[in-house]
Each structure stands twice: as structure tokens, then as C-alpha cells.
A and B are shown apart, each in its own frame.
Chain A
Amino acid sequence: MTLTHLQRLEAESIHIMREVVAEADKPVMLYSIGKDSAVMLHLAKKAFYPSPPPFPLLHVDTTWKFKDMYDLRERSAQEAGMELLVHRNPEAEEMGINPFDHGPLHTDMWKTQGLKQALDKYRFDAAFGGARRDEEKSRAKERIFSFRTASHGWDPKSQRPELWNLYNARKKKGESIRVFPLSNWTELDIWQYIHLENIEIVPLYYSAKRPTFEYEGGLFMADDIERLEKVMGKRPEITERSIRFRTLGCFPLTGAVESEAATLPEIIQEMLLTTTSERQGRVIDKDSGDASMEKKKQEGYF
């Protein structure tokens, strides 16, 4: 009996999660509500069945997520029998940081700083993240167990060698490890697995008629029109379009694509036939040229 590639990927991810639970003092799973998070959570349920996953979910919230995402977040945690922690950076909240007025600062304050605050607050020493190596060039070199200093920094030059499936989880007090159980999955693997395992994902991935507006050359969804009007200073011009999202972040930062793909096979079909990569809809990678993600990670971004 030869295992399929998805069976092998699944077994590897489960093995990684169990290693973390066996060796870390206080693990947590970062849950962004996207499709990768959905797969990661599903794998966690499998890894520890019949026990519930022995760690909480942590959502580092920016207050700018889509409404559909917040709905699924609550339901998923409950169904998995897991505690859900939500952290919002109080400074960003107070300063009213938003993607329109503050550009890159929005990501830095809500996500990078917010994540560091939450990890420090709860003293988590290992955090699962759903990043994949195929997403972006600097991710391709990151370890599965990615070691962070007490100030959450990542030094690509002093990564620990990772051989076989032996992971070194030893660290000093205050230091932590980010763990990427989906490292070896590709976007297509994720979609196939969601299809095969019937995993619930945010409806926004499926095409539907939605209110949209154009902004700086991109197509966006008007998820909370009142709020948008407030920060943009004017009411954007809304048009109904059949759209969906290939990746989900903050609604004003995540570009939609016009699409008729309303089922998983259609989504996969569209993905395979179109030829623009997943992150293109996200503004974040283009902030500072070529090495944008690598720089963010050295500063502590996930």
C-alpha cells in the first residue's frame, strides 16, 4: 500500500504537532481563519483524537477582518473543543490604526506588535503558524521549528540544522519557537485536502455577488461600508460583482478577483487555469521591494 502525497503530508504535520505538545511548556496555535488555518486546525483535531487539541487557539485581531471570518472563528473553536484567545493591540486600537491612513504601520502595529504582545502576555513558548514554504522565497528556507530570540527576532543565518524528522525544541527562558506544520504543503495540496476532507472554510473563498469598490487599481469588497466611509473620508462607489478571494486578510488590504467559481472543484479549476500567484492580491509583500517578507520576519512578523 503506497501512501498518497496528501497522506504523507498529513502524517508529517501530525507528527510535528505531537512533537511540540510533548516538548514545549505552553504551546498555542495561531489561527488566522484563512484556509491554511482551517487545514491546520483540522490536522490538530486528527493529531490528538480522541482528546481535543491540548492547546488554545490565538487570533491576533486587527478589527479589520471580514464579518464572515469572525463568524467562522467562534464556531470552529467551539466545534474543536478549544479555548479561543483574541488579542487586539490596545495601542493600535487607541490610535485608530487603519490600512488607509497608516499603510505599512497597520500591519506592523496590529499584526507584528500585536502578536509579540500576545505571546508575551500568555508566555507561550511555541506557536503554530500556517505558513507554507511555497508561498514566498524567504519562507522556502525557513525551518519547520523556527527559533526566535526573547525579543522575537529571526536570524536566517543562525538557523538550527533540521535533519530527518528530529526537531530540536530546546530553548532558554523567554525564547520561543514558531512551528510551521504545513511547511511542505503547496496551495494546490491545501485545496485538494479541503475538498477531500470536507473542511469548512470562510464562504468568501466561494464566488458570490458582493458589493465591491475599486481602490488604487485593486478590486475590494465593501464589507462594512459605514466604517469604510469614515476612514476613507468619502463613500466609495459600490458596484455589485461576482467575486471571491484567493487569500483572506484585512478586508481593505485583500484584493478580490472576479470569478464564477462557486464550488471547490471550480475553485481548484480556476486556480490551475489562471496563472497569478496567491499573494499577488496582498499588498503586504510589496512594501519595500524584493526582500519585504524576509525583513518583516526579522522584526518578528510571523
Chain B
Amino acid sequence: MSSDTYKTDALIAEDIEAYLDKHQHKTMLRFITCGSVDDGKSTLIGRLLYDSKMIFEDQLAALESDSKRVGTQGQDIDFALLVDGLAAEREQGITIDVAYRFFATESRKFIVADCPGHEQYTRNMVTGASTADLACILIDARKGVLVQTKRHSFLCHQLGIKNLVLAVNKMDLIDYDQEKYDAIIADYEEFAKSIGIESFTAIPISGLAGDNITTKSENTAWYDGPTLMEHLEAVEVRSDANLDKPFSMPVQWVNRPNLDFRGFSGLISTGSVKPGDLVRSLPSGKTSTVKSVVTMEGELEQGVAGQSVTITLEDEIDCSRGDVLAAADNPPEVADQFESTIVWMDEDPLVVGRAYWMKIGTQTVSVTVAEPKYEINVNTMQHLAAKTLELNAIGVSEITTDKQIVFEAYADNRALGGFILIDKITNRTVGAGMLHFSLRRAQNVHWQATDITRDDHAAMKNQRPRVLWFTGLSGSGKSTIANEVEKKLALMNRHTFLLDGDNVRHGLNKDLGFTESDRIENIRRIGEVAKLMTDAGLIVLTAFISPFRADRQLVRDMMGEGEFIEIHVDTPLEVAEARDVKGLYKKAREGKLKNFTGIDSPYEEPEDPEIRVNTVAMSPEEAADYVISKILPLK
């Protein structure tokens, strides 16, 4: 229990000013502990808190009484009770979520992410690992390297953690046997090499007995390495490693208190910046010189990785939230197609082709994920074929953003290579990913600028191009009404084109079926065709069931502001089914037609369509007049 390495009571009592001065110069290390309940992870953390005096007397009293009541250590203190936070967890005796703990020694402050170990908590572990400088992987000395040891090591390695500690715990239970310890290390080393882990530090410990935690244990005289605490205090933190890289800073916010001041606020992710440096704003590529690095304490001579600053420039260049300021001679790349690793974190699996929000740095863009190249079995590291990614699955996929983003490979710069995926409807964070590299396509296929612009095309036709997107159940009357609307527009000398669902499936989309991802691809292609037609100046009418909000949103995002007019042909299911013009409902009810919208596949009604048509109250002719009356006044 003795922990002389960081007992500082004497200094605190005698010279508090000296103590404070010392402690104001502490550094900070964030680490993650991995291992399951049985490996004694909570006990180890409890021990670290206890030995560093982070447990106060009243907590200790509560701990002692809890230990006797529900603890697993008889009359002894059960350190695990100190760490397991939520009520549900205390009752079930398991750790569900990521919990953060704090302790400090003379030279460092530590933030520990305590993560659950079971396979169903892979997402929690990835979350904890994302901010860690170091991972402490616990092994039960009696059991050696297990499947979960490999899984944890693999995940930490994927998240780019360079400092791995293999803490062989419960040494007291194998009588501090060096041979057994060496065998475990040899076993682990072989595995580590196979997945590309270059180095790790192994330490024999006992969380319960306190061996090699803060003081060298006499029980392991054969071990001459550092104690766990010595190692945690000595290891290099990541922000220092980032300092040697070229300068980059994602712009969070433009600071504009008055006409004389325009600053770009952000957290410097790599490198350093000082007045006079030539910087480039991306993706525009415009360059300028740094005028000042502003903070409330005054201007800095130099801003470094890890600091939040506000930068002013000599020139008025276009730069706003989402852009990245970087060293002019060594800027990050810009692209819109990438290969990336994706960890899925939601109960609903990944939908290939669906548009999600992607947040990377301070950029938020729309992104689609292609069918995974493979999924990785986190226990065996084998590559498996996969159509999608389920909760806790990890795979490699190509992804496409709807516009160019500034990025770096995750391995080089976490801030510009790590991203999260957000569901556009539920707003949940559904996945996280790490960019590997951009696909050459994006760089080599340039947009061909043409002399006759889309505005010219539209002007010649004397109209504003639009997409009138009719959505509704099968048999709701979309095609009939769209057809009527087109006739009326033609009489008004408008240039139009009607894209009909069934017709498109005979040609352009005849290779597509009716699975969820095929339906999404169907809509995406129609969206692209409609967009080309609006570029040609046409008013495009489309009649597709298009049951999913996210997919209609995808098309809306492709079009210019105000060009996409969503028209909900609102016919109740009973009415559409009673009409059953094509006899499809009957087939679906008999089970002869699968994935039929309204029957065994959902229709997500538009929440806020530009136009809603009630076909129960109106005839197709009246409905068409109503639509015309709504679109004519639009600017």
C-alpha cells in the first residue's frame, strides 16, 4: 500500500506555493484500460485512485460499508465498487459504458477511460480508445492470452494507439512465476507482430495485492522494468508527437466583433504557427500571411498543437467554418472519395447507398457508404465478405462525400482523418470511421466547365428549372396527376419532361431489384438524371413511390436552393389498396410480392413537403390544377 513515489504531504504542509508551482507544470496523459470484469480492471483503477489519494474519507467509508454489503472480497475493500458508476451496473456487477476517472501524481494528471470488455461493447471500447494516448491491456495471469486480449489489442491498434501496455494481472495467484509470465509474453509478442503492433511494454502486476503498481514488488525480483505508474509517468503524450508535423487547424468559428477584426478560431491539430507564416485556406487553396495569433492574454509568439487560438490574416480571404488553415507549402489533400475503416455503432445496420451526415474536423457533409469490401472478425482478424455492417461490426468500405473535403490519413492526423456518421432522420451517431486514402478517381476526373451554362439553358427556355418530385404509395395517383400537370405546363409553353418509375426500370435501372439498397440506387440515379435535365433548363416531373425520407433528402441535397419541390400525393393505404389499379396489393397480401411498400415495407411520409395533395377530396384534374396554382407563384 505504500506509495512513496507520489506522497507529497510534506511539501503541501510545509510550502504550498512550491507545491502549486510544481503542479502547475504537470503534463496530462489520457489512457484506456481494456479487459473484462474478471481480469480485475476495476480493481486496478480503484487501486490507482486509492494509492494516489483520490478517494476521500467519506467515499472510503461508503466503500467499506458497500464492500461488506455487496462486495466480492469478503471483509476486504472491493475497489471495483468505487469505479462501477451507474445503478444498473452496480446491481448486475458489470461495466456497461465508458466511465472516465481522474488521478494525478507529481508529474502528471491522468484521465482513464474505463471500458467494458465484452464483444457487445466494442463501440464503447472504440469510443474510449479514440482519445487515448496509451492503452493498458489487462491479462489474467492464470488464463494467458485470450480471444478478448487479441480483440482489445486489435481495436487499440486500429484507433492508432502507439503505446500499448500489457499488464499481466493476478501474478499473486500464480505465485509470481517467471516462467509462466515469460510464456504469456512470448505468446502475445507473436500475436502482436501478426497484426502490425511494433512494440509494447509488459509489466507483471497484482491490482489486488498492489505489486508493481506504484512500488517495485519484492515478489517479482526477476522483473527489472518500470512499475505501471513509472511507465505511465514517462511515456510520450500524443500532442507532443503532433508538434513535429506541418501546421493545420480546422476553423470552428469566424470571430467578427467589429469591421476591423476578423479572426479564425480553432484548435490547432498539428504543428505550430506564428506571425509571418504563409498559410493556405482549404479547400479554396487561397494563401495569406498570418498577422497575429490572438488570445485573451495577448498575442502569442507562436501557437502550438493542442492550443485553442484565434488567427488573423493579412489578406481578406474567403474562409469559414469547415475550412482548414494549413501550412501553405505542405497542406492536407482535398477529395470526395475515400477508402476507410468503419465501426458501426447503431442497432439499425448500415444501409449501403443511403446518405448519412459525416462530421470530420469541423466539416459536416453528406456521405454514402458502398458495400463493404470486407468485414473484420475482431476475434480472429479474418476478412469476411459482408453486405452491410451490424452493431459493433468493423469493416472497410469506399465512401463518397457530396462535396470535396479537406482530409489527411487517420494515421497521420486524427483530427482530419477520424469521422463520425450521423443518421439524418434519428440524429443518432451511428458509426465512426478512419480514412485511409483518397481514391484517385476524385482527383483525375475534373468537372468540365462548359461555355453555355445552365443559366443560359434556362434563359433560352424562359423558365426556372425545377424538379417536381411526386411521392406516395403505389396506386395513390402519382403518375396520373404528374401526367395531368405536364399537359397543363405544356399548354403554358413550358419545357418539361416526365420521369416515370415503371418506365425508368425498363431501361436505365433495369439491373436493379427491390431490396433496400437497390431502391436507394434507383432513386440516386433518377436524382442524377433529373439534375442533368435541370442543367439543360427543363422542368422535370418524377413519379416514384420513393418511400424513404433519407433518399428524398439525398435528391433534395443534389439540387439548387428552391429547385426541389416535394409533392406528397397523400392517399390513405385503404384507398390505394381498394383502387389497386395494377393488382399489386392483392399479390402482396397473398405473399407473392415481397418488400411491397405499405404492406411489408414502410412508407415514410414527408414531414414538411412543399405541396400536399389530398386525392380523396380531389379528382386528378383538380389535383393537377391545385399543384399548378402552388408552383406558379414560386420565385
Q: With an 8 A cutoff between CB atoms, is A41 at the interface?
A: no
Kindly specify which of B15-23, B275-283, B555-563, B584-592 makes contact with the partner chain.
Answer: B15-23
Residues of B close to A72: CB separation below 8 A? none
Given contacts A15-B267, A161-B345, contact A22 B429 (CB under 8 A): no
Asked whether A160 lies within 8 Å of B429 as measured between CB atoms, the reply is yes
Q: With an 8 A cutoff between CB atoms, is B51 at the interface?
A: no
Of B20, B255, B263, B295, the residue contacting A192 (CB under 8 A) is B20
Asked whether B296 lies within 8 Å of A45 as measured between CB atoms, the reply is yes
Q: With an 8 A cutoff between CB atoms, is B418 at the interface?
A: yes
The 8 A CB mask of B411-429 against A (1 = contact, 0 = none) is 0001100111010000111
Asked whether A138 lies within 8 Å of B85 as measured between CB atoms, the reply is yes
Given contacts A22-B362, A141-B85, A141-B98, contact A160 B428 (CB under 8 A): yes
Residues of B close to A157: CB separation below 8 A? 88, 96
Asked whether B422 lies within 8 Å of A277 as measured between CB atoms, the reply is no
Asked whether B296 lies within 8 Å of A46 as measured between CB atoms, the reply is yes
Asked whether A51 lies within 8 Å of B123 as measured between CB atoms, the reply is no
Asked whether B131 lies within 8 Å of A164 as measured between CB atoms, the reply is yes
Q: With an 8 A cutoff between CB atoms, is A183 at the interface?
A: yes
The 8 A CB mask of A39-52 against B (1 = contact, 0 = none) is 00000011111111
Q: With an 8 A cutoff between CB atoms, is A235 at the interface?
A: no
Residues of B close to A275: CB separation below 8 A? 53, 56-57, 60
Of B28, B86, B257, B307, the residue contacting A141 (CB under 8 A) is B86
Asked whether B295 lies within 8 Å of A49 as measured between CB atoms, the reply is yes
The 8 A CB mask of B323-362 against A (1 = contact, 0 = none) is 0000000000000000000000100000000000101101
Interface of chain B residues 1 through 58 with chain A (CB within 8 A) = 9, 12-13, 16-17, 19-20, 23-28, 53, 56-58
Given contacts A8-B28, A163-B418, contact A51 B256 (CB under 8 A): yes
Asked whether A6 lies within 8 Å of B16 as measured between CB atoms, the reply is no
Of A50, A172, A266, A291, the residue contacting B294 (CB under 8 A) is A50
Q: With an 8 A cutoff between CB atoms, is A290 at the interface?
A: yes
Assembly CA distance A52 to B257 (angstroms): 8
Asked whether B127 lies within 8 Å of A162 as measured between CB atoms, the reply is yes
Q: With an 8 A cutoff between CB atoms, is B308 at the interface?
A: yes
Candidate in A45, A52, A134, A161 with the most chain B CB atoms within 10 angstroms: A161
Interface of chain A residues 276 through 291 with chain B (CB within 8 A) = 276-277, 280, 290-291
Asked whether A189 lies within 8 Å of B109 as measured between CB atoms, the reply is yes
Assembly CA distance A15 to B252 (angstroms): 8
CB of A8, distance to nearest CB on chain B (Å): 5
Q: With an 8 A cutoff between CB atoms, is A209 at the interface?
A: no
CB of B391, distance to nearest CB on chain A (Å): 11
Assembly CA distance A45 to B27 (angstroms): 24
Residues of B close to A52: CB separation below 8 A? 257
Interface of chain A residues 253 through 281 with chain B (CB within 8 A) = 265-266, 268-269, 272-273, 275-277, 280
Of A22, A133, A137, A196, the residue contacting B252 (CB under 8 A) is A22
Asked whether B104 lies within 8 Å of A186 as measured between CB atoms, the reply is yes
The 8 A CB mask of A103-137 against B (1 = contact, 0 = none) is 00000000000000000000000000000011001
Assembly CA distance A12 to B131 (angstroms): 12
Kindly specify which of B165-173, B224-232, B236-244, B374-382 makes contact with the partner chain.
Answer: B236-244
Asked whether A161 lies within 8 Å of B123 as measured between CB atoms, the reply is yes
Candidate in A49, A164, A172 with the most chain B CB atoms within 10 angstroms: A164
Residues of A close to B99: CB separation below 8 A? 140-141
Residues of B close to A170: CB separation below 8 A? 357, 422, 427
Assembly CA distance A142 to B321 (angstroms): 27
Q: How many residues of B contact A (CB 8 A)?
A: 80
Q: With an 8 A cutoff between CB atoms, is B97 at the interface?
A: yes
The 8 A CB mask of A2-36 against B (1 = contact, 0 = none) is 11111111111011001101100000000000000
Asked whether A265 lies within 8 Å of B20 as measured between CB atoms, the reply is yes
Of A8, A48, A51, A195, the residue contacting B20 (CB under 8 A) is A195
Assembly CA distance A22 to B255 (angstroms): 11
Residues of B close to A137: CB separation below 8 A? 85-86
Q: With an 8 A cutoff between CB atoms, is B306 at the interface?
A: yes
Residues of A close to B17: CB separation below 8 A? 265
Asked whether A163 lies within 8 Å of B90 as measured between CB atoms, the reply is no
Asked whether A5 lies within 8 Å of B28 as measured between CB atoms, the reply is yes
Asked whether B12 lies within 8 Å of A272 as measured between CB atoms, the reply is yes
The 8 A CB mask of A177-214 against B (1 = contact, 0 = none) is 00000011010110010011000000000000000000
Asked whether A138 lies within 8 Å of B429 as measured between CB atoms, the reply is no
Assembly CA distance A188 to B420 (angstroms): 33
Residues of B close to A45: CB separation below 8 A? 296
Q: With an 8 A cutoff between CB atoms, is B126 at the interface?
A: yes
CB of B626, distance to nearest CB on chain A (Å): 28
Q: With an 8 A cutoff between CB atoms, is B108 at the interface?
A: yes
Residues of A close to B321: CB separation below 8 A? 22
Q: With an 8 A cutoff between CB atoms, is A242 at the interface?
A: no
Given contacts A4-B25, A280-B58, contact A269 B12 (CB under 8 A): yes
Asked whether B16 lies within 8 Å of A266 as measured between CB atoms, the reply is yes
Given contacts A2-B27, A140-B99, A140-B100, contact A276 B58 (CB under 8 A): yes
Q: Name B residues whose Cβ lies closer than 8 Å to a Cβ of A.
A: 9, 12-13, 16-17, 19-20, 23-28, 53, 56-60, 85-88, 90, 96-102, 104, 108-109, 111, 123-124, 126-127, 130-131, 237, 239-240, 243, 252-253, 255-257, 261, 263, 265-267, 294-296, 302, 304, 306-308, 310, 321, 345, 357, 359-360, 362, 414-415, 418-420, 422, 427-429, 432
Q: Can you list 19 A-B contacts with CB-CB less than 8 angstroms, sorted by A residue number?
A: A2-B237, A3-B304, A3-B307, A5-B104, A18-B253, A18-B266, A47-B265, A49-B310, A133-B102, A138-B87, A164-B130, A164-B414, A168-B359, A170-B427, A172-B427, A184-B111, A265-B16, A265-B17, A280-B58
Nearest 10 pairs of A and B residues by beta carbon: A277-B56, A5-B28, A291-B87, A14-B308, A5-B109, A163-B130, A49-B296, A51-B257, A137-B85, A170-B427
A22-B253, A141-B98 known, 17 other contacts, Cβ within 8 Å: A4-B27, A11-B307, A14-B308, A19-B362, A134-B101, A138-B85, A141-B100, A165-B267, A165-B415, A168-B427, A168-B429, A170-B422, A265-B17, A266-B16, A269-B16, A277-B56, A291-B86
